[in-house]
Structure 1
């Protein structure tokens, strides 16, 4: 052990500080640095990166800024390794503004500088900014590496920008770099979240090394793409391979069960969490179980599980229960769930809308109006339903009965043609989803021009035959539009991929991958 009271060799001090930082002894590294500084020793460009790396774990912003000030005073900010370490430290602490300021002042940047910044934006939820920075990085002629590739693919997954993700994948392959576990995991996740579960599976099959993140990404991916039984199959293969599931794996597995109506499987996996693997269920797991039981109409059992919870029910749990009450028209339980949500998320419009819909579906128009008035009096606005299609790197957005698109006339003519043809094939508008107190003709017209129907009309006009029509919606697809999409896929012989706020729906030949259970 270095006797810090006697040795004044800078190289030895740097070795000790760097060794502590690398081995996870960040506090010891910072303590050594303070002693080094107190002895007025010469601090150089090898000292600072190790010290700054220690702050990425300790999150001591006050002292981190003090070290930054010292770096500026001693003139080391212009040194590339020090600048890179500053960008990385601020990015990992979530201080993106400071990270960008340091980056912007750097006279010379390399792939590490760019990677630290892009990764910081991606990991802190600023996915669009991460993509923009990545584009600037490529324009600057900086070659990508495994770290920035994994981060940008994760951002693509969150934004569901498939074309961008495919381009990143292609560029990485052309680069000749060897893939890494993080890149492969990000690819599996990106393709799965963009509705390309077959591509996700192909990446999975080529991987020589897999970890629990790999398996979980595929399990969740199949569940989100309406293939819950495949999720269970991969879970069984995962266990057979000797890999142990983690907290996140069970969220994906229970989600798969809830979206496939596999009640017995769900019960079994939920019980095995603690009994077999020692994993205590969290609110997310309870929410999946409440959702599973609620979707299956087992509201009494869902209520019992709610009362037996060892953790406090959060908003996600009450939302799952309220959604089930909406489907099965349970007013009493729905009122309880909504009441709790009013307190937990007072400015969230969802519980007001769902409770109003429960009343409307039961013909209680006055109660529905009362909830809408309450919502308005509290200054809460409902998020409008919006659907969009990306064509040639341009996003085309639609809202219900929207007439702002440049091709509105063509789109509405196509929408009218769609309704005529699918009615001939057996489609009957479901007035339960026209929850406005108006005459039947008005309700039917309202249904015909829902945002996803306008989006699919545009898709039929513009997407080449043989290519899938990819539609995204910010809210849950309504039952009438779901039925209509099945008929449209059969009548027009098209593969329609619709991602709503809940999951992906793959419509082919008059059927949906969710099996009408979503």
Structure 2
């Protein structure tokens, strides 16, 4: 049984610590583990400072680390006269677990001795915070591997887009625990390979809540809502709010806000994450007033809820309201700061964006990315390059940041030039430059780059396929597009998502094959989303096909009653027809 969590009064601490002249390690361990807040731990620590041994110090370091208080953890570590390998491992893990990866790496470098736990702590930190290059480098440098090291390595290879390497590690493991299976499920899920997710999940000796939610989310994200619902209904983890949240998000992300809200209303109990999910759903769906009303009802609102509302206002370019939410927040984190920075950056309010950037307490890759995007959008390429040069690290993610900024703002020549100068490219680099060509009417260039990517040994992911299919649509390359659509699952094992079907609907429509486009929407194995019907409405409008335009508008109205744009487009179609 775990220790009960309770708030500890100062009197209780003093009486508990001094209840006898000689306290055992287990006695100290009990009270340290019982601390429910950092304030409790600080009170306990103040009483233990002069009585603690290395074992107690290690407990304090670990507990401070779990509360995110790495500075306090380091003070305890520094007070140890002769820290052993266990103490070194705990402080390194504390820094790594909280995202202070540079500090963790420096501690690792000066450790007098290392064991497999030392290596795994650093590896897990890099993997957890989406630094796959560094994680893989650590993994390949390890003198020996165990199951605990292999699990984050699988995640790292998947993050880097090397799914075959992730599978190879999994296949070579002499022993696999539930975390190993969950890691390979997540790897396939992140690679949009839902068929492999389902195949591997069928081989698992047992599932836990993480397995259930990974399989459920993978199917939902790919648009297989009926299968997702079946998994949810049969799950033995239905008391887990994460599963409920996954189902809410499944429907919401597929354009069905009403069903998502109905699931939320029927939940037997709601955790803070459930409220966060619903607010984020309303905000991203453009229902800002509902998001605001829901926030007021939360028993205890979180930073995430407030940030979701802020992002919703930002998405609607309601900067004054976004800033009002930001100022009303009692707590802010890096995500909150980045959200308000991105709001001004995306709106082209460059001076306000600069002012916010200058005030930010911490500058992460997302902060630098936002200011670079703002400068590029403002057509100030020299300042954007200067901001890029000022970034603390210039790894592939930093290069991708500038590349995406050029690509998403129409600076295709600059994007192609930058891409040609990159010494290291990952799948995200290729996807960015592919999209740059595809969405700027350079379809044949997108197809050429796609072929080069495959020849370079990179496996295209769902984003790359969306770009090349879009490129084929703009270039009128119907047969080429059809071949790529077929290759998604047959050659590359990626499950076609709704977005890919929408691209083919657009491809067929632009080729004046409206009947085939409508038939594809009706026969696709996934539930068509608002985006799919919007594409059909668009191509029907271009062709003056009133019947199909009317049908598409009706389907959009059914899925998203508050949407106004389809009626405007339909009105234009009818006007031109009449």
Tell me the TM-score normalised to structure 2 length.
0.56
1:345 equivalent in alignment to 2:340: yes
- Return the match for 2:28 from 12, 17, 38: 17
| Aligned counterpart for 1:222 among listed residues 209, 219, 223 | 219
C-alpha displacement of 1:53? 2.1
Distance 1:244 1:350, change over 3 A: farther
Deviation at 1:184, TM superposition (A): 2.4
The corresponding residue for 1:271 is 265
What's the offset of the Cα at 1:116?
1.7
Residue 407 of structure 2 corresponds to residue 384 of structure 1: yes
Number of aligned residue pairs: 407
TM superposition shift of 1:82: 2.4
Give distance in 2, aligned partners of 1:338 and 1:475: 34
Larger relative helix fraction: 2
Aligned to 1:38: 50
The correspondence for 2:59, drawn from 26, 29, 50, is 50
> Structure 2 vs 1, CA of residues 475 and 267 (structure 1 numbering), >3 Å: closer, same or farther?
farther
Equivalent position SS for 2:87: helix
Deviation at 1:234, TM superposition (A): 1.9
Q: Which runs of 5+ in 1 are unaligned?
A: 295-301, 323-333, 354-370, 403-414, 416-428, 435-445
CA–CA separation in structure 2 for the residues paired with 1:212 and 1:482: 41
Cα deviation, residue 192, structure 1: 0.8
**For 1:314, which of 305, 309, 317 is the aligned residue?**
309
CA drift at 1:486: 7.9
SS at match of 1:495: helix
In terms of fraction of residues, the more strand-rich structure is 1
C-alpha distance 245-170 of structure 1, shift in aligned 2 (>3 A): same
User: What is the RMSD of the two structures over their aligned residues, measured on CA atoms?
Assistant: 4.8
- State the partner residue of 2:239: 244
CA contact (8 A) 1:33 1:51 kept: yes
Whole-angstrom CA distance in 1 between matches of 2:468 and 2:152: 34
Asked if 1 retains the 8 angstrom alpha-carbon contact of 2:89 and 2:117, the reply is yes
Verify the 8 A CA contact 1:215 1:234 in the aligned structure 2: yes
1:119-518 superposed matches below 5 A: 119-137=124-142, 140=143, 142-146=144-148, 148-172=149-173, 176-180=174-178, 182-238=179-235, 241=236, 243-246=238-241, 248-262=242-256, 264-273=258-267, 276-279=268-271, 281-289=274-282, 302=287, 305=290, 308-310=293-295, 314-318=309-313, 345-347=340-342, 351-352=346-347, 375-376=378-379, 382-385=405-408, 395=426, 397-398=429-430, 446-449=441-444, 451=446, 453-458=447-452, 470-471=460-461, 473=463, 477=467, 480-481=470-471, 483=473, 487-488=479-480, 490-491=482-483, 494-496=486-488, 505=500, 517=529, 518=531
Counterpart of 1:88 (choices 85, 89, 93) is 93
Describe the SS at the equivalent of 2:24. helix
| SS of equivalent to 2:460 | strand
* 1:16-50 deviations in Å (ceiling 9; x for gaps): 233444566788887677656536x8x4x544433
Q: Report the secondary structure of 1:131's partner residue.
A: helix
* 3-state secondary structure, aligned to 1:38: coil
Quote the Cα distance in structure 2 between the aligned partners of 1:495 and 1:185. Answer: 27
The aligned counterpart of 2:566 is none
> What TM-score comes out, normalization by structure 1 length?
0.62
Mapped to 2, the partners of 1:309 and 1:475 lie a distance apart of 37
* 2:200 partner SS: helix
Determine the structure 1 residue equivalent to 2:123: 118
Q: Which runs of 5+ in 2 are unaligned?
A: 1-14, 297-305, 325-338, 349-373, 385-401, 409-414, 509-519, 532-578
Measure, in 2, the Cα distance between the counterparts of 1:94 and 1:400: 26
